[in-house]
Structure 1
Amino acid sequence: MVDLTTWDGLLRTYVDADGRVDYRSWLTREPTILADWLAQQSCETKGHQDHLAHWINLYNAFTIQAVLSRYPIDSIRPKLLGLPNWIGFLRFFQQPVHRLGSQLISLAQIENRMLREQSKDPRIHFAIVCASLGCPLLRCEAYTPERVEQQLEDDLMRFVNNPQKVRLDAEAGILHCSKIFQWYKADFLAASPSIPAYILPQLQGATDLKTELRLAYLPYDWSLNQRMSS
């Protein structure tokens, strides 16, 4: 079984309850400990819960390591001459630069092959974090095989009931929601007949809503999920 003590300790030290990361202190105080921990990891898992916890932890850890290697930055979506640098942005996710045992892997491979394809669980979209404020809140603890099902359920509830991610205007018949529901629509529709049908049972105060809703997707905030050292 993977020793999560180091990863869990780093999250508890440098991530607050709002998912903001103190990258500056992390980089100053413990610049190599995350890389050392990642160097000990492998692709091997045992069972469904272990698989989920392992790859969610690795996705988030590699993302933080990528930010630390570039810090200070304001966003993972860099700008070139005042415009979004889409090549740099895509490389952040698509380039296989993260070493795992003897192979190199990308964030996109972890997300799509190891999590989306193998788990078929749309709740992973509320757990993996790309270091932006538009993402789900980064947990200040590691995912564990023993608790990952409850952690994912908590992540789903926390995301849906965060007004920055989901807002219901019942009078106007509009469900405002994160673009995550648009980008990964197929994953949610595999688990539910519609996006509102997926969201509403989890949304506090909305379970008895009868009217048909129109979807409106909220702007996505690509600002770095950082908090400044005190």
Structure 2
Amino acid sequence: MIDFEPWDRLLRQYVDGDGRVNYFAWKTEQPQAIANWLSSQKNLDFKSNSNNFEQLALWINLYNAFTISTILERYPLESIRPLILGIPNWLAFLWFFQRRAYYIFDKRYSLAEIENQILRENLQEPRIHFAIVCASVGCPLLRAGAYFPEQVTQQLDEDTRRFINNPEKVRYDSDKKTLYCSKIFKWYRQDFLKIKSSIPEYIRSYLEIDLPINASTPISYLYYDWNLNQRIS
């Protein structure tokens, strides 16, 4: 099993309590730290018989580490969505997720493969959508620490509650009787419907306050901010 302690120390050092990443300090002080850690682990054998907790912690950590390492290589940048003359370059944006650039366990992976084939299809855990990050403001906030097998269920529960109770991601307008929520609930709707019969019911199950929402509550999706989730210091 991969040693997550070096990754955990980096996250605790460069991610604040609000999930913002100090890329400037990270790149200035330890630009190769993630790459060195991953390189030291890349030839380990993947144990296909690992339990779900081990696999969840493993692949969430790897997804986030691969993403942050790529951002550090390209930093400084304002957004993870490239622009050409002010127009979104969607091909380059998709290539960020689709390119098989990450080598581990004697195989190359893409971010899309880790997310869709491993975390979504194989492990069937909707809460990963509140844990894996694409490094944008619209994404879940990055956890200031690694995921560990013995804690991952609790960590995912905490991540889900933090996301759903963040008014920037989910809020209810009592005047319009409308639930406003992140487009993550639109893009991955089918994942959440495996747990609850509607998106409002899924959201309600994690709310810390009681709101008058149910399966028939109208939904409107919030603007998704692709700007880089960074701490300016």
For Structure 1 versus Structure 2, the TM-score category normalised by the shorter chain is: over 0.9
Q: Does 1:14 align with 2:38?
A: no
* Residues 1:113 and 2:117 aligned together: yes
Bigger CA drift: 136-145 or 199-208?
199-208
CA distance in 2, matches of 1:86, 1:8: 32
Contact kept? 1:9, 1:141, Cα under 8 Å: yes
Give 1:111 deviation, angstroms: 0.2
- The CA distance in 2 between the partners of 1:149 and 1:210, in whole Å, is 26
Q: Return 5+ residue gaps in structure 1 as ranges.
A: none
Q: CA deviation at 1:157?
A: 0.5
Alignment match, 1:200: 204
- C-alpha contact 2:201 2:213 (8 A) present in aligned 1: no
Could you tell me whether the CA contact under 8 Å between 1:123 and 1:152 is conserved in 2? Answer: yes
Per the alignment, do residues 208 and 168 of structure 1 end up closer, same or farther by CA in structure 2, a change over 3 Å counting? closer
CA distance in 2, matches of 1:210, 1:100: 43
Measure the CA separation in 2 of the matches of 1:201 and 1:208.
12
Deviations 1:127-162 (A, max 9, x none): 001000000110000000010000000011000000
Q: How do residues 23-34 of structure 1 correspond to structure 2 at under 5 angstroms?
A: 23-34=23-34
Say whether the 8 Å CA contact 1:201–1:207 is kept in structure 2: no
1:38 corresponds to which residue?
Answer: 38
- Classify the secondary structure of the residue corresponding to 1:144: coil
Unaligned runs of 5+ in 2: none
Following superposition, the deviation at residue 18 of structure 1 comes to 1.1
Q: Which moved more, 1:1-10 or 1:127-136?
A: 1-10
Alignment partners' CA distance in 2, 1:158 and 1:12:
18
Q: What TM-score do the two structures reach when normalised by structure 1?
A: 0.95
Q: Deviations over 1:156-207 (max 9, x none)?
A: 1000000000001234220000000000011011111010010012112225
C-alpha change, 1:76 and 1:211, in structure 2 (3 Å) is closer
Contact 1:179 1:218 in 2 (8 A): yes
Which residue of structure 1 aligns with residue 221 of structure 2? 217
TM (norm. structure 2) is 0.94
8 A contact 2:136–2:229 mirrored in 1: yes
Q: 1:211 to 1:113 in 2, by over 3 A?
A: closer
State the alpha-carbon separation in 2 of the partners of residues 171 and 190 from structure 1: 30
1:129 to 123, 130, 133: 133
1:80 is matched with which residue? 84
Please tell me whether the aligned partners of residues 133 and 139 of structure 2 are also in contact (alpha carbons under 8 angstroms): yes
Residues 59-208 of structure 1: pairs in structure 2 closer than 5 A: 59-206=63-210
Q: Is the contact between residue 180 and residue 220 of structure 2 (CA under 8 Å) also seen in structure 1?
A: yes
> Higher mean Cα deviation, 63-72 or 205-214?
205-214
How far apart in 1 are the matches of 2:45 and 2:230?
Answer: 29
Q: Give the Cα separation in 1 of the matches to 2:38 and 2:209.
A: 42
How far the C-alpha of 1:43 sits from its partner, in A, is 6.5
- State the alpha-carbon separation in 2 of the partners of residues 86 and 43 from structure 1: 35
Deviations, residues 63-112 of structure 1 (Å, cap 9, x unaligned): 00110111111111010111001111001101111111322110000001
Structure 1 counterpart SS, 2:127: helix
Structure 1 residue 226: deviation in Å?
0.8
Identity of paired residues, percent?
Answer: 54
Task: Provide the aligned length of Structure 1 versus Structure 2.
Answer: 229
Aligned to 2:3: 3
Residue in 2 that maps onto 1:226: 230
**What CA RMSD, in Å, does the superposition of the two structures yield over aligned residues?**
1.5
**What CA distance in whole angstroms lies between the structure 2 residues aligned with 1:184 and 1:87?**
21
